[in-house]
């Protein structure tokens, strides 16, 4: 499994080296450097995933802004709009936006990720039941860890669809995917921890909002990224 690296804009060229990339629509519209970097990766044929929500509290913004960001970057994968803990709102926004993508005929978009949400595990399962077979890839966001480990959710739900882990809730190493169905994971935590002089072994708490305009990283940031890539690339993987 290849993880995506979330890095400050001035350091994208040096740090985003896995061939799998995640960009955020708000930053695409805000920064020409940012949008150009990911548009170039798309032209080179690397996997570029565009997401609508850069924060840990996920919510969808203006769909027209999201469409404009997609046009600028031409990503291969689009994360459909979702709202933390809101099943019905997420399903409605996801279905509507998926129809819009099809109507726009974005030939470069090869796949979409439908994020499972709900206010309980029962609702998350209902969301899964309604999305399964409708979207090619399922997204499991960090907020689900409040109910249960995402690895246990995969096991208990019997998820066999390709899956992406979005961000982390308590700790990177404890939330690393255990199943072959998880194709990628992304998080700003490896560098976020380093800015607080913490390693991947430390819990994720009190992390400030990620600053995408920092011009440097501490040496621990390089080590955290190396460990992050190594752990996710060499982790023993099970089938569901």
What are the pLDDT digits (tens) for 50-105?
Answer: 999 997 789 999 999 999 999 999 999 999 999 999 999 999 999 999 999 999 98
- pLDDT score of 110: 96
What top-level class would CATH report for the domain 4-234? Answer: alpha beta
The whole-angstrom separation of Cα 13 and Cα 25 is 19
Strands 163-166 and 182-187: parallel
d(CA 199, CA 156): 31
**pLDDT per position as a tens digit, 203-230:** 888 888 999 999 999 999 999 999 999 9
Token reading at 162: 């390709």
**pLDDT at residue 235, as a whole number:** 63
Sequence ranges of the domains in the chain? 4-234
Place of tokens 């960001």: 69
Flag whether pLDDT at 20 surpasses 90: yes
Kindly report, residue by residue over 28-59, the tens digit of the pLDDT. Answer: 999 999 999 999 999 999 999 999 999 778 99
Residues of the chain with pLDDT > 70, as a percent, come to: 98
User: Cα–Cα distance between 83 and 148 in angstroms, integer?
Assistant: 18
How many Å apart are CA 115 and CA 137, to the nearest integer?
Answer: 9
Mode of pairing for the β-strands spanning 182-187 and 4-5: parallel
165-201 burial, b if ≥16 CB within 10 A, otherwise e?
bbbbbebbbebbbbbebbbbbbbbbbbbbbbeebebe
167 pLDDT higher than 60: yes
The whole model's pTM is what?
A: 0.95
Q: Give residue 13's pLDDT band: very low, low, confident or very high (50, 70, 90).
A: very high
Question: Average pLDDT, stretch 98-118?
Answer: 95
The whole-number pLDDT of residue 236 equals 54
Contact between residue 210 and residue 54 where contact means Cβ atoms under 8 Å apart: yes
**Residue 231 is inside which H or E element, if any?**
helix 219-234
Question: d(Cα 99, Cα 104) in Å, to the nearest integer?
Answer: 9
* pLDDT at residue 56 in the model: 77
pLDDT for residue 233: 83
CB 11 within 8 A of CB 38: no
């Amino acid at each position: 499994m290849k993880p995506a690296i979330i890095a400050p804009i001035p350091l994208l060229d040096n740090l985003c080296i896995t061939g799998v990339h995640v960009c955020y629509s708000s930053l695409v519209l805000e920064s020409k450097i940012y949008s150009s970097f990911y548009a170039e990766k798309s032209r080179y044929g690397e996997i570029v995933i565009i997401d609508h929500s850069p924060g840990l509290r996920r919510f969808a913004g203006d769909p027209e802004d999201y469409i404009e960001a997609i046009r600028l970057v031409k990503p291969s994968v689009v994360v459909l709009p979702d709202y933390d803990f809101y099943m019905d709102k997420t399903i409605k926004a996801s279905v509507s936006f998926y129809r819009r993508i099809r109507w726009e005929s974005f030939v470069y978009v090869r796949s979409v990720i439908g994020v499972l949400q709900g206010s309980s595990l029962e609702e998350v399962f209902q969301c899964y039941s309604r999305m399964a077979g409708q979207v090619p890839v399922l997204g499991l966001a960090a907020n689900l860890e409040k109910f249960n480990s995402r690895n246990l959710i995969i096991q208990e739900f019997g998820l066999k669809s390709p899956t992406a882990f979005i961000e982390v809730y308590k700790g990177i190493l404890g939330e690393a995917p255990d199943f072959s169905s998880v194709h990628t994971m992304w998080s700003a935590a490896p560098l976020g921890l380093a800015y607080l002089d913490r390693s991947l072994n430390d819990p994720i708490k009190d992390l400030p909002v990620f600053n995408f305009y920092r011009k440097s990283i501490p040496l621990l940031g390089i080590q955290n990224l190396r460990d992050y890539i190594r752990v996710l690339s060499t982790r023993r993987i099970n089938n569901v």
